[in-house]
A and B are shown apart, each in its own frame.
Chain A
Amino acid sequence: MTVHIRVREKSFKKGQTAVQVLRDIRLELEDGDFITIIGPSGCGKSTLLKIIAGLDTDYEGTVEIGGLPVVGPGTDQGFVFQEHRLFPWLTVEENIAANLSLKDPEIRKRVDELIHIVRLKGFEKAYPKELSGGMSQRVAIARALLREPKILLLDEPFGALDAFTRKHLQDVLLEIWRKKRITMVLVTHDLDESIYLGNQVVIMKTKPGSISRIIPIELPFPRQRAHPLFQEMRQKVLKEFETADELPLIEGLGI
């Protein structure tokens, strides 16, 4: 689904004064794009994602998905949060189905399919407290996918996971993307992750949050982090960061 994003301005009120968090954002997504957004903390990348999701409608501009303007949150815009945000009182399969009935054979079939895709077979009846962080996040991804969203938005979904689990989930996500061809937008602060997953890396800068550059990554999938071309891309993205003058703010990127 093609997506047009125009945010002329977005500001938060802080007491009497308004603080501008986003300015002049223009993004065009083609069907099946995988966009990763990377930027220093405070650059408004999460806010931008909330705007695309329709969770935040208090801004100047428009977001159109497949030609239709987004006026509020809905199942067309799947969303995966940094924390899994599962309902603790529902089992894995109930969490995936949520407001849809598992008694419906069609839903049942698709839930089982998704449990297979995110590799949670055997955990259908487990409660979130019995799952590891990575497993919980896989449930959250399955929950978003069940609604067959036109676009899947991911807000630092693997940020809180350890390196092994993160890498594994990145591969799970890539596999889903290649199978289902869903347009994806992933916000991250992990440089390698942005290059490993995206076919375009959007680099943002702060004060006010705006797009610094969009770098297309034309490496074939699956990508290899150790490959010289990957490293070359990494240098390119990194350099773009350094030209953005907010270097002190990008500590903790693993640079």
Chain B
Amino acid sequence: MAKTTITAEQPKFRKESVRRPTVLKDDGFKESLKRRVAGLILPFLLFAIWQIIGSLGFVSKTVLPTPSDIVMAFKNLVVSGELFTHLKISVLRAAAGFILGAGLGLAAGIAVGFSTKTEGVLDPSLQMLRTIPHLAVAPLFILWFGFGEASKILLIAKSAFFPIYVNTFLGIREVDARLFDVARILDFSKWKQIKLLILPSALPNILLGIRLSLGAAWLALVVAELMGSTEGVGYMMMDARQFSNTDIVFVGIIIFAAVGKLTDSFVRLLETRLLKWQDTYNGR
């Protein structure tokens, strides 16, 4: 009887194996293109209206330069190489601060996540530090480290530290306890438990933490550069403000937005690559 049942069930398998490819490719290229175009409609409309208002002379150029003015300013800055020098120093600062802060945040999050003892010792103090606004510690950092790079990088590191710390901690504590039973039955070593169970399970939270930390680092960079510096995109903007070059201020804003978005997209790309196993609602 067992034999006959098995053959009777066979068509079911075939059906499953046919079904699988359709599960794997969900969104077509056309769909994603459509969605992208939909996202561009509003900005384009806004730019058009903006340009028309500026060209007709309703608003003074020092208050609101037109999009074409901004594009020209951007072109000039690119051609003179000024933009590149400022951008380079800004990106280096943000990167250094981010690596320092996020690296420590990740390490602290893992340490606190794994042990309630470490949590008891570290977490209360860290939570207290977390609530201090960046602007409040900025004067202190300047007093201690001067106007040089150290105070800027430390300020950025401070902001990048907390989002990844909190999320890593949370991610580790949210590992399904039932999977720990499986790990015990399969006789996982401590290392395998971390590598196969805890880190993959916490990865969505860790990646979210990285995204938030990147955003925080970028925000802190602006604060640090406006605080007082002689190079960087923030300095370029402050300098332009003094000469009422509003178009350059706009270029700075756009650069901050673009680089911020670019790094965010990079992490999201990482997310889709690393979290393809996730079975969650993607929105419709």
Contact with A along B74-95 (1 / 0, CB 8 A): 0000000000000000000000
Q: Tell me the bound Cα distance from A205 to B174 in angstroms.
A: 37
- What is the distance, in angstroms, from B188's C-beta to the closest C-beta of chain A? 5
Contact with A along B179-216 (1 / 0, CB 8 A): 10110111111001000110011010000000000000
Q: Is the CB of A99 within 8 A of B277?
A: no
A interface residues, how many (CB within 8 angstroms):
40
Q: Tell me the bound Cα distance from A110 to B279 in angstroms.
A: 29
Decide if B6 is an interface residue (CB 8 Å cutoff).
yes
Instruction: Name the B residues within 8 Å of A171 (CB-CB).
Output: 2, 5-6
Main secondary structure of the interface of B (DSSP, over half): helix
Decide if A252 is an interface residue (CB 8 Å cutoff).
no
Main secondary structure of the interface of A (DSSP, over half): loop
Decide if B41 is an interface residue (CB 8 Å cutoff).
no
Decide if A175 is an interface residue (CB 8 Å cutoff).
yes
Q: Tell me the bound Cα distance from A229 to B17 in angstroms.
A: 38
Given A130-B20, A168-B5, A89 and B178 touching (CB < 8 A)? no
Given A99-B192, A129-B279, A174-B2, A85 and B178 touching (CB < 8 A)? yes
Q: Is the CB of B196 within 8 A of A222?
A: no
Instruction: Name the B residues within 8 Å of A186 (CB-CB).
Output: none
Contact pick for A88, options B2, B184, B188, B277, CB 8 Å: B277
Q: Is the CB of B279 within 8 A of A53?
A: no
Q: Is the CB of A55 within 8 A of B5?
A: no
Contact with B along A67-94 (1 / 0, CB 8 A): 0000011110111010101011110000
Decide if A231 is an interface residue (CB 8 Å cutoff).
no
Instruction: Name the A residues within 8 Å of B182 (CB-CB).
Output: 81, 85, 87
Q: Tell me the bound Cα distance from A135 to B2 in angstroms.
A: 18
- Among A2-10, A119-127, A241-249, the one that faces the other chain is A119-127
Contact pick for A99, options B24, B181, B189, B203, CB 8 Å: B189
Seen from chain B, the residues whose Cβ lies within 8 Å of a Cβ on chain A are 1-2, 5-6, 9, 12-13, 16-17, 20, 23-24, 178-179, 181-182, 184-189, 192, 196-197, 200-201, 203, 276-279
Nearest first, the 10 A-B pairs at minimum CB distance are: A129-B279, A89-B200, A222-B2, A99-B192, A73-B184, A222-B1, A89-B277, A127-B277, A168-B9, A73-B185
19 contacts between A and B (CB under 8 A): A55-B184, A55-B185, A74-B187, A75-B185, A81-B182, A85-B178, A85-B179, A87-B200, A88-B277, A88-B278, A88-B279, A89-B203, A98-B188, A99-B192, A128-B277, A128-B279, A168-B5, A221-B2, A223-B1
